[in-house]
Amino acid sequence: MTDYLATGNLPDDYRQLAASVADFARTVVAPVSAEHDAQHSFPYEVVAGMAEMGLFGLPFPEEYGGMGGDYFALCLAIEELAKVDQSVAITLEAGVSLGAMPIHRFGTDAQKGEWLPALTSGRQLAAFGLTEPGAGSDAGGTRTRAVLDGDHWVIDGSKQFITNSGTDITALITVTAVTGVGPDGGKEISTIVVPAQTPGLTVEPAYDKVGWKASDTHPLTLTDVHVPEANLLGERGRGYANFLRILDEGRIAIAALAVGAAQGCVDASVAYATQREAFGRPIAANQGIAFKIARMEARAHVARTAYYDAAALLLAGKPFKKQASIAKLVASEAAMDNARDATQIHGGYGFMNDYPVARHYRDSKILEIGEGTSEVQLMLIARTLGL
């Protein structure tokens, strides 16, 4: 991929995918975004359309119903969706990189055969149950426990801020849980697949969020939840390490989402500034406005280059942790800064929910928090420098 990183000339298959998703975002997603945002309703009809396009199967092999593509293809699709609706984009991102990907990366052949076909088709969604009330950035502070009783795991605990966990098509939640004591005397953390309808799993009422209002997000309570021993995902005691790998990959996808949001703000600002007149001329003729939009475009371009770079390393099988953190950091900041500038350019209209930039302004802040805060990214980058 590095041969076209510098030029920006993507191969035809990538360009065609991006163009197809862009058209879908413009004609299907955009017309219903404001309504779903206002009603806090999950866009089932949009998700069904994405499923029909094969977006949920992009990075998975065809033997499990996937499209046989790669992680970069997924990122391109997420970027195009995020230009018009971050809630839709995060539904795809979480459903694939956090929901289905752990099954693909760490599941047994039996687990892959059981779960992946429905997930890659988009008929069902999976969720990633990591964060807890006392374990956010400090994921090692996990308190949820799983005890092996005969041939079943018995799980008790709680999770919070879990995306795609309460929809009508949610099939499973993969949860981290303390399953014993590790060799170093610390917590042995494992990952276990909990089917959505398992007795004892309670999906609590949805959050009233500042943004991403059409995205499904719930706290979860697990009380005496029994699942088969075979639902252990990956090696016992490797759950924390495995989810760190999933988060590293996910940061590239979140960066792509943030780039889409940043570019969406640029596109909306260009359209508005060339049409809106003040003092007898378009406001785009004012250097203060033109320069502000130019800086927004520069932010989006730099952030896009950063996530392309991280994705190239991932696909090449090379270390990418630092580059993923850099991409996530600069892209989320670009999205937030561009949303702020776009709102300012739109003036009073930018404060009205009728305009997409208002949603971007509310939606973008979580990009600096979710899947590792900006402070966590700085910590990870600093560690690679020996600091």
The pLDDT, as a whole number, for residue 211 is 96
The pLDDT, as a whole number, for residue 295 is 98
Angle at alpha carbon of residue 316, lines to 259 and 110, rounded to 5°? 95
Mean pLDDT across 96-102: 96
The pLDDT, as a whole number, for residue 101 is 96
Active site residue 371: yes
Mean pLDDT, the chain, integer: 94
**113 pLDDT higher than 60:** yes
- Where residue 1 falls among pLDDT bands split at 50, 70, 90? very low
Mean pLDDT across 213-224: 98
Nearest to 385 by CA among 328, 327, 330, 322: 322
The pLDDT, as a whole number, for residue 90 is 98
Among residues 80, 333, 368, 371, the one annotated as catalytic is 371
The pLDDT, as a whole number, for residue 283 is 92
C-beta separation of 77 from 13 below 8 A:
no
**328 pLDDT higher than 70:** yes
Mean pLDDT across 117-121: 97
Lowest average pLDDT, out of 3-12, 143-152, 342-351, 352-361, goes to 3-12
| pLDDT tens column, 271-319 | 999 999 889 999 999 999 999 999 999 999 999 999 999 999 999 999 9
Long-range Cβ contacts of 322-327 (<8 Å, 24+ apart): 322/380, 322/381, 322/384, 324/248, 324/249, 324/251, 324/252, 324/255, 325/251, 325/372, 325/377, 325/380, 325/381, 326/377, 326/381, 327/251, 327/252, 327/255, 327/303
C-beta separation of 260 from 80 below 8 A:
yes
**5 pLDDT higher than 70:** no
Share of the chain above pLDDT 90, in %: 89
The pLDDT, as a whole number, for residue 8 is 60
- Where residue 4 falls among pLDDT bands split at 50, 70, 90? low
Q: How far apart are the first and last CA of the chain?
A: 31
Radius of gyration over alpha carbons of the chain, in Å? 21
| pLDDT tens column, 225-241 | 999 999 999 999 999 88
User: Considering the entire predicted model, what is its pTM?
Assistant: 0.95
| 168 or 134, greater pLDDT | 168
The domains found in the chain, sorted by start residue, are 2-125 (1.10.540.10), 127-237 (2.40.110.10), 241-384 (1.20.140.10)
| pLDDT tens column, 251-273 | 999 999 999 999 999 999 999 99
**6 pLDDT higher than 50:** no
Mean pLDDT across 172-181: 95
| 168 or 5, greater pLDDT | 168
The pLDDT, as a whole number, for residue 137 is 67
Cα separation values, 301 from 8, 40, 77, 251, 259, Å: 10, 31, 17, 18, 8
**3 pLDDT higher than 70:** no
